[in-house]
Chain A
Amino acid sequence: MSEKRKPDKEISMFQSHRRFWDNSPGTVLHTGLEHVLDPLRMRIYDENIKGEFAPEMLDLGELIGDITRAYQDRPLLDGDVFQCISLADVVPWMEAIIGCHLYSLGRGASMVANPTDIEPGDLPQHLRYLLDNLDENVWFKKLSDGYQALAEVLGTKFPLAHTLMRGPGDMVGALLGHENFIGRMLKPADNKDFLNDLLALCSKIYIKTAKMQLEHSGKFKGGYCNAWGLWAPGLNVRTQEDEAAFVSPKLYNEFLLPYHVQEADAFDYSTIHMHSGYVMSVYNWRDFSKKSTISAFEVCLDPNGPTGEDLMETLLGINSEKPLIIDVFTDEQAKAVEEHISDFPGSILYNNQVARLSFWEAEAEHNLN
């Protein structure tokens, strides 16, 4: 593509992204193949970093260096979205900030958050103090410093997106232990106020943490990108709430929905990430849609969940009201989405993870040779 035509493509990208958020019919965007994998995640895998992961083990200087190298030759435009940078999405930041212990999984290229040592009865006080004193928290400070450094080094070249952020359900589940959290939800007489207290505080901490990152990132062409490189002309967040996949529609509506609404309403543009493998979380979208200003839904088609074909009616239903991001992981899912692509009534961002995995495996093999 000639240098003269590049600005046209960028302008066209902004226009198509506006159409995405407007849920304009016939808007079909594709993520590209070159969405860079988190360098810290790759380092954890390559060096088999396994065990307790303490804040001092995260060397920001080293990480910024890795990120700079990873993005060195990457284009700004990747498919129909922007190549954007987020900080170490392998780290469960929200869980770390609220006091969970992090455990790195080496060849799993992942980290998990284990319950805190704080007694459940002391958690509301702990979270209240944290909310008022986030700047003192070592993980919050690390995230803040990281985004300031990223903005300085790379902010003029690529848009910055906030890191992977899990919502209040995931946060409280990590604090208490997921089975404990679910068990308490089923005994509301003894637990309702306690759980709502924790969820409300975690939701506020989430909002403050997201806003901090967006503030340090600064605007990109008058707006912000989310992790998938979707630009919006305003504050733009994406919440991951895997806990929703473990609860029934009734429990979701009672305990999680009010806080998802609160979070969505705190930003100009918001996306919530849901899973199809556990039917209830996908099928709750109608309640959510009625009660909040959520901008878009992201549905992750789990390989062990309903097939792409079986889910199609739900996906088309969601898209009749909201823009949709569709993540596919199997050939059957990809085939189903591609066969129905012209049936979607609104706008979609099609995220084919099968194609991306093949691209990165081929690149890794090329580098090895």
Chain B
Amino acid sequence: MINFDELTKAVVEGDSNASLELTKKAMDMGISAMEILNRGLLPGMEIIGEQFEKQEIFFPELLMAADTMKATVALLRPELSKSKIPPIGKCVIGTVEGDAHDIGKNLVKMMLEQNGWEVTDLGTDVPTEKFCSVIEEGNFDILGLSALLTVTMHVMDDIIKALKATGLRDKVKIMVGGAPVTQSFTDQIGADAYAENAVEAARKAKSLVNR
């Protein structure tokens, strides 16, 4: 018998070694990747999310847990791919042009992936035209925009205007975040959602696509 609580605890504690060991043990016992994910790993990320929002843990612990989750899911991926379960949705994310900060964006990407999203990361200092061309050519549910500077957050407005001008605005839901960004700014530029942190981003992404 596998104790899924131990696996959950390993994720919460950011203990990659323990998480990988327990996962291998479970796989050797014939337990399916989906069951390991749903009963052991995802509950760990839910606990982490709650603790972060209550300020019981902070950014480093969130990062460690996300890293543990990522390493363990990589082990399960071959089997998960076979089961052909579609992702919750597809998200493209990037830091806007003129801004090179990426810690927050990277964490959002990790949290979305751990919550079943397929994420395309365009990196940092991404030109507005690039965001537009990716939206035009791809089939994304959400566009995530990140900025850490007061100067660059206004580029988010430019991106939304560019999408409107090219008839692409309604093709995608837009979520924004970053230190200078507020709900009021989000409303002002006509974005669909604002996330104060990575945990909230994962939650709001789900509600944006009603899944």
Spell out A's residues near B (CB within 8 Å). 45, 103, 105-110, 112, 178-179, 182-183, 185-186, 246-249, 251, 275, 277-280, 302-305, 329-330, 357
CB-defined contacts of B182 to chain A, threshold 8 Å: 303-304, 330
Q: Is the CB of A246 within 8 A of B59?
A: yes
Q: Is the CB of A278 within 8 A of B59?
A: yes
Q: Determine the residue in chain A with the shortest Cβ distance to B99.
A: A108
Q: Is the CB of A103 within 8 A of B59?
A: no
Chain B, residues 147-180, CB within 8 Å of chain A (1/0): the string is: 0011110010000000000000000000001111
Q: Is the CB of A105 within 8 A of B60?
A: no
Interface residues on B, range: 20 to 34
Q: Is the CB of A107 within 8 A of B67?
A: no
Taking each of B58, B67, B149, B151, which has the highest tally of chain A beta carbons within 10 Å of its own beta carbon? B58
CB-defined contacts of B99 to chain A, threshold 8 Å: 105, 108, 110
CB-defined contacts of B149 to chain A, threshold 8 Å: 108-110
Instruction: Report A192 CB to chain B, min CB distance, Å.
Output: 15
CB-defined contacts of A112 to chain B, threshold 8 Å: 100-101
Can you list the 3 inter-chain pairs with the closest CB atoms, starting with the nearest?
A: A108-B98, A248-B58, A107-B98
A-contacting residues, B79-125, CB 8 Å:
97-101, 103, 106, 125
Query: Given contacts A185-B60, A186-B14, A304-B196, could you give 19 more A-B pairs where the C-beta distance is less than 8 Å?
Result: A45-B151, A103-B100, A105-B98, A105-B152, A106-B98, A108-B99, A112-B100, A112-B101, A179-B103, A182-B60, A186-B64, A246-B60, A247-B59, A249-B58, A275-B179, A302-B180, A303-B185, A304-B177, A304-B181
Q: How far is the CA of A112 from the CA of B103 in the complex (A)?
A: 13
Q: Is the CB of B196 within 8 A of A248?
A: no
Q: Is the CB of B151 within 8 A of A107?
A: yes
CB-defined contacts of B151 to chain A, threshold 8 Å: 45, 107-110
CB-defined contacts of B57 to chain A, threshold 8 Å: 248
Instruction: Report A126 CB to chain B, min CB distance, Å.
Output: 24
CB-defined contacts of A179 to chain B, threshold 8 Å: 63, 103, 106
Instruction: Report B68 CB to chain A, min CB distance, Å.
Output: 11
CB-defined contacts of A109 to chain B, threshold 8 Å: 98, 149, 151
CB-defined contacts of B63 to chain A, threshold 8 Å: 179, 182-183
Spell out B's residues near A (CB within 8 Å). 14, 55, 57-61, 63-64, 67, 97-101, 103, 106, 125, 149-152, 155, 177-182, 184-185, 196
Q: Is the CB of A280 within 8 A of B196?
A: no
CB-defined contacts of A247 to chain B, threshold 8 Å: 58-60
Some 23 contacts from A to B, beta carbons below 8 A apart, are A45-B151, A103-B100, A106-B97, A106-B98, A107-B151, A108-B99, A108-B125, A108-B149, A110-B98, A178-B103, A179-B106, A185-B60, A186-B14, A246-B59, A248-B57, A251-B60, A277-B179, A278-B58, A280-B55, A303-B181, A303-B182, A304-B180, A329-B150
Instruction: Report B128 CB to chain A, min CB distance, Å.
Output: 10
Q: Determine the residue in chain A with the shortest Cβ distance to B125.
A: A105
CB-defined contacts of A277 to chain B, threshold 8 Å: 179
Q: Is the CB of B179 within 8 A of A302?
A: yes
Q: Is the CB of B179 within 8 A of A279?
A: no
- Which residue of A105, A251, A279 is within 8 Å of B55 (Cβ)? A279
Q: How far is the CA of A124 from the CA of B147 in the complex (A)?
A: 33
- Which residue of A183, A279, A280 is within 8 Å of B64 (Cβ)? A183
CB-defined contacts of A248 to chain B, threshold 8 Å: 57-61
CB-defined contacts of A251 to chain B, threshold 8 Å: 60
Q: Is the CB of B98 within 8 A of A303?
A: no
Q: Is the CB of B152 within 8 A of A280?
A: no
CB-defined contacts of B55 to chain A, threshold 8 Å: 279-280
CB-defined contacts of B98 to chain A, threshold 8 Å: 105-110
CB-defined contacts of A106 to chain B, threshold 8 Å: 97-98
